[in-house]
Amino acid sequence: MITTLEPTDFTTSTPAEHCACHAQTDNKLAATVPRALVHRAAVAEVFLTGMCRIADDRFHIKAQWPRGHSFFTPVAGTHYDPMLIAETIRQVGAYLAHQAFEVPIGHQFLLWSLEYSTVPEQLVIGGAPADLDLIVTCPEIRRRGSRLTALTYEVVIRQDERVVATGRVGYTVTSPAVYERLRAKQLATEPESVLGSAPVAPAEVGRFSPFDVVLSASSAPGVWELRYDIRHPVLFDHVGDHVPGMVLLEAARQAVTIDAEAGVMPVSVMSTYQRYAEFGTPLWIHAEPVSAELGGTAARSVRVTGFQDGERVFEAVVVTEPVGSVPPPY
């Protein structure tokens, strides 16, 4: 588990191992990595730009965040959306599996946990895209013979030698044959959007368009039905046999934003996933406060849980914090 970071934890130190690693390639990373290696259909949704191996279990990965994005829109117009952190470290897991651990394309990845931590002042958007250095360490690598079956990895994200965020992810890997046996019914079912109920007003969850809202309006406090359109180009970059984990994480973010003041961001997330979120069955999102204030600050903690057919699908403890008054950088 990662620890929620304070501003003083984001030091300016640079890991020595990554300097030499990219000394000859820093100026040559002019393109993103192949989209298939991060499980994306659209090139525009790929944030990683390259990787080199430092040790058997340690890597230096390069990434870039755009100043503007159709879905990961700036918070308060001045800060990167922290969900970029979540998506970036998710892409790291797929890329490592295929490039470093020789997992063939077509194998399935089951996400068990995703955590990250940041502070608002480290996410202020500058006058150019954010070029990032990610140092990735793998404390747990499971294999059956030579085949990777599970991976846990930790990420430190830096920009200009400043620590921007930290994260940790755990997942398992399944071969196509095994996955087809386990998910035969779902693979044979045509996925459908869930749009029956009106969405929450976009402004209440920090969104501009109803198309980006994943919570249905509800009269019950702290409870919403998950809604989604499988035509969404980011949340459903490609359609599989279940609702993606990043859709559930976005639901958690919107659930903690709905009763908060404008300009808050999820600075810390600890999420776990117990079951597949299936198409065709209502999935209910429940949110309950854990702590109104943390450490005398304006930060607050909320537990968000998703239930489907009476079973828990995922749980996320989300800490939010206002971005504060930060002047535009340009």
Average pLDDT along the chain: 90
With 0-12 / 13-18 / 19 or more C-beta atoms within 10 angstroms meaning exposed / middle / buried, residue 141 is: middle
As given in the structure block, the two tokens for residue 245 are 């984990």
Residue 196 has what pLDDT? Answer: 82
Report the C-alpha gap between 232 and 16 in whole angstroms: 41
pLDDT exceeds cutoff 80 at 9: no
Claim: this prediction has a pTM higher than 0.75: yes
The model's pLDDT over 55-104, given as tens digits with 9 standing for 90+, comes to 999 999 999 999 999 999 999 999 999 999 999 999 999 999 999 999 99
Q: Is 9 helix (H, G, I), strand (E, B) or coil?
A: helix
Residue 98 has what pLDDT? Answer: 98
pLDDT exceeds cutoff 60 at 206: yes
36 touches 149 (CB < 8 A):
no
The model's pLDDT over 243-265, given as tens digits with 9 standing for 90+, comes to 999 999 999 999 999 977 777 89
Helix (H) or strand (E) holding 217: none
Q: Give the residue among 251, 238, 262 at the shortest CA–CA distance from 314.
A: 251
Residue 279 has what pLDDT? Answer: 96
Is beta strand 130-144 parallel, antiparallel or unpaired with respect to 283-291? Answer: unpaired
Residue 312 has what pLDDT? Answer: 98
pLDDT exceeds cutoff 50 at 183: yes
pLDDT tier, 13 (very low <50, low <70, confident <90, very high otherwise): very low
Q: 78-102 in b/e burial notation, b at 16+ Cβ within 10 A? A: bbbbbbbbbbbbbbbbbbbbbbbee
Q: Give the residue among 234, 316, 320 at the shortest CA–CA distance from 273.
A: 316
Report the C-alpha gap between 309 and 311 in whole angstroms: 6
324 touches 294 (CB < 8 A):
no
The model's pLDDT over 94-132, given as tens digits with 9 standing for 90+, comes to 999 999 999 999 999 999 999 999 989 999 999 999 999
Report, as an integer, the average pLDDT of 33-51.
Answer: 97
Report the C-alpha gap between 91 and 77 in whole angstroms: 25
Report the C-alpha gap between 154 and 136 in whole angstroms: 6
DSSP, residue by residue, 112-124: EEEEEEE-GGGGB
pLDDT exceeds cutoff 80 at 28: no
Task: Please give the domain boundaries of the chain with CATH numbers for all domains.
Answer: 1-182 (3.10.129.10), 188-330 (3.10.129.10)
pLDDT exceeds cutoff 60 at 8: no
